[in-house]
Amino acid sequence: MCIWSTVGPEEDTGVDVIVNNKSERALKGYYGRMRLFKQYGYDMMKARSFLLNKSGIKNSSVLEVGTGRGHLAVGLAKKGIRFVTIDLDRKVLFLARRNLKGHGVLKFACIKLMDARKLNFRDEEFDHVISSNFIHHAKYPEQCIKEMIRVARRSITIADLNKRGEAIMSKVHQLDGRKHARSLLSLKGIKEQLDRSGLDVKVHRDTCQTVLVAKKRIKL
């Protein structure tokens, strides 16, 4: 069950005009951000399409780990996929919600405030678990991946920045006077953990990201 109040009281204000205005501003900011990244060589729209295509996810039970501003969430929703998405940052969940609402696809998403280190879901509750550009933000990436594996029944898809993507991300963050987070676990380390867990892993390399698709072996 999705309880919208888990991300804050905005839904209960009853003032649709305020919400719509905020959604429009969020949408403008979203596309402005996309244009900026593309200017530096990171086409996030193409990267999202590449990720979703390689994941093989269709209309089944899906969990996204690391909602962020809702970029991947919008992509999932536009494909007509209903999904649960979690993040521990209440502020970005508000932004993601406005982003989804601005695109007219909020109805597909169940947004939850949750720690990826301890997912409040049953073992193998979701057919697929997917995450994009989250692991490099995680303080305990190994534990997060362990939890993703636990709650997935069929596959885990993890995408994160390669060296070129990291360089572009750092440049854009510098424009805002911020420093971009460096991953505590390399892409090689992510693959090694998936391998050790007995999953069949395929690596797909894109311009600014690497996508790891790990499938669970069929139990006889």
**Model pTM above 0.75:** yes
Helical residues (DSSP H) of 103-219, grouped into ranges:
141-151, 163-175, 187-196
What confidence category does residue 180 fall into, taking pLDDT thresholds of 50, 70 and 90?
confident
Q: pLDDT, tens digit, for every residue of 134-177?
A: 999 999 999 999 999 999 999 999 999 999 999 999 999 898 88
Among 4-18, 62-76, 144-158, the minimum mean pLDDT is found in 4-18
Which one, of 91, 56, 43, 40, lies nearest residue 70 by Cα? Answer: 91
Q: What is the pLDDT of residue 23?
A: 65
Among 27-41, 91-105, 184-198, the minimum mean pLDDT is found in 27-41
Report phi then psi at 202, rounded to 5. Answer: -115, 140
E strands within 67-208?
83-87, 109-113, 126-132, 152-161, 200-205
Give the architecture-level CATH label for domain 4-215.
3-Layer(aba) Sandwich (3.40)
Flag whether pLDDT at 17 surpasses 60: no
Q: Where are the domains of the chain?
A: 4-215
Q: Is 47 left (phi over 0), alpha (psi -120 to 50) or beta?
A: alpha
For 110, other C-beta atoms within 10 Å of its C-beta total 16
